Amino acid sequence: MHDDQFLAERFEEHRTHLRSVAYRMLGSVTEADDAVQEAWLRLARTDTSDVGNLGGWLTTVVGRVCLDMLRGRKSRHEEPLEAEHLPDPVIVSETTPDPEKEALLADSVGLALLVVLESLSPAERLAFVLHDMFALPYEQIAPIVDRTPQTAKKLASQARRRVQGATPNPNPDLAGQRRVVDAFLAAARGGDFDELLRLLDPGVVLRADAGETMRVIRGAAAVSGQAETFRRMATLCTIHPAVVNGGAGLVNTLDGNPFSIIGFTVAEDRITAIDILSDRDRLTRLDLSAILG
């Protein structure tokens, strides 16, 4: 077999894993694919004859590429910043499996978690993602961030504290999540403020990304105060149930065109986060064919 073909086949064996790493690092499907492509280019021009673990080598390369991309976003400094936009959602049908998208999420990375990751410094994010999500040892992470293993461990620990404090564990039962979301929709259509309040966790966070900036509303009373907005959405739009980043969600259309995507985080039968993407430019770039036909 030709050496280039053999190398390409070995790379393809790792592509799904590399896309998962890059998506968690970048929160963007398009940028994740760009990072994986860059890893292939680097592999193609590198002598890897002495590389014993190609998967580990490629993971390290993708990590470096993603770190450079993140630093480009936050070129002023590496202090944690509030996320300015929602990450790209990954949408699948509740009834039609999509192995490629499901593999991208693997253990289900909800939008709420990705939003928290967006607020980490690039080095914190890389250390946390590679160690906590993909079990890469700190000795391999340290050279990527140009730190010692002890410092890499500290970076991951800092990120872990922020993640654990900001993202309650969602209900793993998708059917149970859907029941809560359906009840939310029924309350929205009926303008039932009290029922909306009952369904919302006291610390619920609503994030609405319309393109220019992300609006954030915190607390059950404040989110319930958007009842009229929810009612208009529920009555004017055609609502398509979907799985958004592993959780119950909605794809809403108006006159046949994508209007918004909503991801819900449900924990203990209450909604802890609502993430709404209504940026028309980004909506047109998402693959919604499995939901809209």
Q: What percent of the chain has pLDDT over 70?
A: 94
Query: Is residue 96 over pLDDT 80?
Result: no
Q: Which amino acid is at 273?
A: A
Q: 145 burial class (0-12, 13-18, 19+ CB within 10 angstroms)?
A: buried
Domain with CATH 3.10.450.50 in the chain: 174-292
Domain with CATH 1.20.140.160 in the chain: 3-86+120-166
Q: What is the pLDDT of residues 3-52, one digit of tens each?
A: 678 778 888 999 999 999 999 999 988 999 999 999 999 888 877 777 77
At the topology level of CATH, where does 3-86+120-166 sit?
Butyryl-CoA Dehydrogenase, subunit A; domain 3 (1.20.140)
In the chain, the largest separation of any two C-alpha atoms, in whole Å, equals: 68
Check residue 80 and give its pLDDT: 44
CA distances from 6 to 1, 2, 28, 44, 181 (A): 6, 6, 29, 11, 48
Q: What are phi and psi of 66, to 5 degrees?
A: -65, -40
Q: What is the pLDDT of residues 127-149, one digit of tens each?
A: 999 999 999 999 999 999 999 99
d(CA 97, CA 92): 7
Average pLDDT over residues 211-221: 90
Q: How confident is the model at residue 173 (pLDDT cuts 50, 70, 90)?
A: confident
CA distances from 190 to 69, 220, 226 (A): 45, 18, 13
Check residue 264 and give its pLDDT: 95
Q: Give, as one character, the DSSP assignment of residue 211.
A: S
| Cβ pair 118, 255 in contact under 8 A | no
Q: What is the mean pLDDT of the chain?
A: 87
At the topology level of CATH, where does 174-292 sit?
Nuclear Transport Factor 2; Chain: A, (3.10.450)
Order across the sheet with 200-209: list the strands.
91-92, 238-244, 247-254, 257-267, 270-277, 200-209, 214-218
